Amino acid sequence: EIVMTQSPVTLSVSPGERATLSCRASQSVGSNLAWYQQKPGQAPRLLIFSASTRATGIPARFSGSGSGTEFTLTISSLQSEDFALYYCLQYNNWPPWTFGQGTKVEIK
């Protein structure tokens, strides 16, 4: 089983600032890495797939990078609606599909 580790657990950022979230895989997942945003009481929403491709309707301020075992989600200028939980998911080696434990982006 591939273990996904996200850091930091909590990220405190001021509106308008840049946020950088990390996700590390215990072994290579190629580019088969997705990022999700989840707000309280809502289902996860797909932001990024194939490590760097934005899903339909996702604003350009969200960008993903990386391959192999190290991945990054960057939010270039945080808006109020971006404060949420973010999860990475590897879909390269399955079963099982494995998520990171999440990073909470909170208002500083």
Q: How far is the CB of 108 from another protein (least distance, A)?
A: 22
The CB-of-72 to another protein minimum distance in angstroms stands at: 17
Residue 77 beta carbon to another protein: minimum distance, rounded to whole angstroms: 25
Nearer to another protein, 16 or 41 (CB): 41
Are 47 and 36 in contact by the 8 Å Cβ rule? The answer is: yes
Residues that bind another protein (CB under 8 A): 32, 34, 36, 38, 42-46, 49, 55, 87, 89, 91-92, 94-102
Minimum CB distance to another protein smaller for 10 or for 77: 10
